[in-house]
Amino acid sequence: MLKINNLSAKIDNKSILQDFKLEINPGEVHAIMGPNGSGKSTLSNILSGKKGYDVTGEVLFENNDLFSLETEERAHKGIFLAFQYPLEIPGVNTNVFLKTSLNAIKKARGEKELDAIQFLKLVKEKAKELKFDEEKLGRQLNVGFSGGEKKKNEILQMSILNPKLSILDETDSGLDIDALKTVAEGVNALRKKNNSFLIITHYQRLLEYIKPDFVHVLMNGKIIKSGGPELALELEKKGYENIN
Amino acid sequence: MRDKQIEDLKDYKYGFSTDIESFKAPKGLNEDVIKFISNIKKEPRWLLDWRLKAFERLKVLKEPDWQKPKYPKIDYQDLYYYSAPKSFKDKPKSLDELDPKLLETYQKLGIPLNEQKRLNGIAVDAVFDSVSVATTFKETLTKQGIIFCSISEAVQKHPELVKKYLGTVIPLTDHFFATLNSAVFTDGSFVYIPPGVRCPMELSTYFRINASDTGQFERTLIIADKGSYVSYLEGCTAPMRDENQLHAANVELIALDDAEIKYSTVQNWYPGDKDGKGGIYNFVTKRGLCKGKNSKISWTQVETGSAITWKYPSCILKGDNSIGEFYSIAITNNHQKADTGTKMIHLGKNTKSKIISKGISAGFSDMTYRGLVDISPKATNSNNFTQCDSLLMGNKCGAHTVPYIKNKNSDSNIAHEATTSKISEEQLHYCQQRGLNPEEAVGLIVNGFCKEVLQQLPMEFAVEAQKLVGISLEGSVG
């Protein structure tokens, strides 16, 4: 599904990722763990299409050259990024934003758009599953939301858009244990044969609830070690410094 | 040839012009032209005298020059002051008699002119150049005693009302453009709502400038008698032309005791091309008088068009407990310029005013909010709240806020809040990641920014306005 070959990225001439390689097949859950400044967020930024990076190498998503696609086209093809810091958009109702987003994607795919009633039914159902306060859906997008609510809102959007590849950029940071469990349930509910996940995190904690198929350790812009779920536990014990 | 013009039209949807022979007054501004206008309208002597008085005054008035947007000198002798489609010399009595070409024009504009569209619940008084083409729904309104017709017709049929109120809010001597209008005004709408009547539908005028080299000088007069209510909508478009066209309208609103007038404008005049060539000069005087106690006047404007917009819809709060409101969205793109805002003059006791202004500038455009809040010594226990927000797109445009605040008694309150923000790259990236293209993303963010004002518009207008906001900013991203 996703193939990253020799990806290098620089920003203002500072090298962040070097010869990064990763392959994710349909249905797989990959976790990338790494200390601050290891290049984790750069990876999610580049995959989502954020501008400002000098990039070399190749990224293929379902055999499409990712770099030839605009950010929104990547979203249309099924890439979703749960932001580390979800943005506030004053004046824009959360429901309206969600509906606009879902219908923009459906339209691009030539699918039938949802009308207001169909959409409300869907969003209510998903909000209930994720224990997301329905009242918040009527409020301005992320304005006045707590850190945890913002993260849950990302997962709500993910479950509504039902993407093929979901990238979770430190979604667990700043979450209390209940919110963490809810987020994990949201991810697990979406986990199907064809949906893949790339979970970027500092800590092993989230991985107790979302069991990854693969764990990769990212240091200084490179994957230095890959393994199964047990690698996360090993990391937790030894720390990043002593993993190699 | 005209077909080609329509084909060429890519950016400005309303930029077609209609090939109808028009009947014009000779070029130039002089007593003869004024007499010509008055004569063709079969006006009574008092009105001609009134016009001539305005013209006398005009001779000593100077064109104001304190505004921020500058423009090349206008040659007032090189304009036509009256232009009517030729087929209107004998005015049609009903829609069936209308020139089909005219109907076609209105169809292109999307105006519900035929009565079948009554479901829209909008009564339309369409002004095509200088003559009011057709007034729909007259019957329904007449039953309730509501008068809704062109001002020319009102002069003939209801001279006592016109004579009593015309020029009472915007005096003959007011300022250059208002006085010019008083001398040469051609047509416009007239509304009278009798005491205690709540007008059952939105009343609407759709203005359109067609003939070239024509200044359009409409005059609108709305009177809400005691305890009545009316909501009035005004929409404007003009064809694309290389030269600039002047639009200097006067709008007067009068609310008597316990009456309420809601006046909404969506202004979409041709803004000129991407390089700033052509476009309308929209120099309009709009003023409402809350004459009676407990009266209310509310202005809502969505200004997206014109090369230069220069207007301050104002409220004079004369009656005790009266309320004035001003809700505004002004958008400038490319080389457009706007200097707009409001004046709230508090004269009565316990008067309240509220100003919500949202300015959006993109491209190389320049936007100024200019507003006056003046609370007189007698207007005790009055208050004003002003909120002025500016949104900038790109770094070649400008936004300025110039509030004038005068509080002349100690138990009144004035609050002014202002913000300036930019659409961030991060916000755009977030929306794009959710599948919106940059223009959809900007549309969404901007509509969020304008929401408080859009909410003030009647439903159908709000949807149109929302689209217009998106269209006006097309090409301003990236």
- The reply to whether residue B433 touches residue A80, judged by beta carbons under 8 angstroms, is yes
Confidence of residue B104 (pLDDT cuts 50, 70, 90): low
Write out chain A residues lying below 8 Å of B438, CB-based. 72
Instruction: Give the 3-state secondary structure of residue B170.
Output: coil
- The reply to whether residue B445 touches residue A92, judged by beta carbons under 8 angstroms, is yes
Write out chain A residues lying below 8 Å of B427, CB-based. 87, 89
Instruction: Kindly list the residues of chain A whose beta carbon comes within 8 Å of any beta carbon in chain B.
Output: 48-51, 70-72, 74-76, 80-81, 83, 86-87, 89-92, 96-97, 100-102, 104-105, 108, 140, 157, 161
Confidence of residue B114 (pLDDT cuts 50, 70, 90): very low
Strands A140-141 and A89-93: antiparallel
- The reply to whether residue B434 touches residue A49, judged by beta carbons under 8 angstroms, is no
Which residue of B lies nearest to A106 if distances are taken between CA atoms?
B435
- The 3-state secondary structure of chain A reads CEEEEEEEEEECCEEEEEEEEEEECCCCEEEEECCCCCCHHHHHHHHHCCCCCEEEEEEEECCEEHHHCCHHHHHHHCEEEECCCCCCEEEEEHHHHHHHHHHHHHHHCCCCCCCHHHHHHHHHHHHHHCCCCHHHHCCEECCCCCHHHHHHHHHHHHHHHCCCEEEEECCCCCCCHHHHHHHHHHHHHHCCCCCEEEEEECCCHHHHCCCCCEEEEEECCEEEEEECCHHHHHHHHHCHHHCC
- The reply to whether residue A50 touches residue B440, judged by beta carbons under 8 angstroms, is no
Confidence of residue B1 (pLDDT cuts 50, 70, 90): very low
pLDDT in tens, B291-331: 999 999 999 999 888 888 999 999 999 999 999 999 999 99
Domain map (residue ranges) of chain A: 2-242
pLDDT greater at residue B97 or residue B54: B54
> Is ipTM beyond 0.90?
yes
- The reply to whether residue B427 touches residue A89, judged by beta carbons under 8 angstroms, is yes
CATH superfamily of this structure's domain A2-242: P-loop containing nucleotide triphosphate hydrolases (3.40.50.300)
Write out chain B residues lying below 8 Å of A158, CB-based. none
Which residue of A lies nearest to B421 if distances are taken between CA atoms?
A90
- The reply to whether residue A92 touches residue B448, judged by beta carbons under 8 angstroms, is yes
pLDDT in tens, B155-166: 999 999 999 999
What the block records as the tokens of B378 is 């007698």
Interface contacts (A, B; CB < 8 Å) = 76
Is the confidence at residue B356, as pLDDT, over 60?
yes
Is the confidence at residue B339, as pLDDT, over 60?
yes
What is the per-residue pLDDT for B238?
A: 52
Q: Is A116 exposed, middle or buried (0-12, 13-18, 19+ CB in 10 A)?
A: exposed
pLDDT in tens, B203-244: 877 654 444 445 578 899 999 999 999 999 887 555 555 567
Of A220, A16, A213, B118, the C-alpha closest to A231 is A213
Which of A81, A91, A102 shows the shortest C-beta gap to B433? A81
Read off φ and ψ for residue A233, nearest 5 degrees: -65, -40
Which of A50, A76, A91 shows the shortest C-beta gap to B429? A50
Q: CB-side exposure of B50: number of CA atoms within 13 Å?
A: 21
Confidence of residue B352 (pLDDT cuts 50, 70, 90): very high
| pTM value > 0.90 | no
What is the per-residue pLDDT for B8?
A: 39
Write out chain A residues lying below 8 Å of B477, CB-based. none
What is the per-residue pLDDT for B12?
A: 57
Give the distance from residue B401's alpha carbon to the nearest chain A alpha carbon, in angstroms.
21
Give the distance from residue A190's alpha carbon to the nearest chain B alpha carbon, in angstroms.
18
Which of B425, B433, B440 shows the shortest C-beta gap to A48? B433
- The reply to whether residue B434 touches residue A97, judged by beta carbons under 8 angstroms, is yes
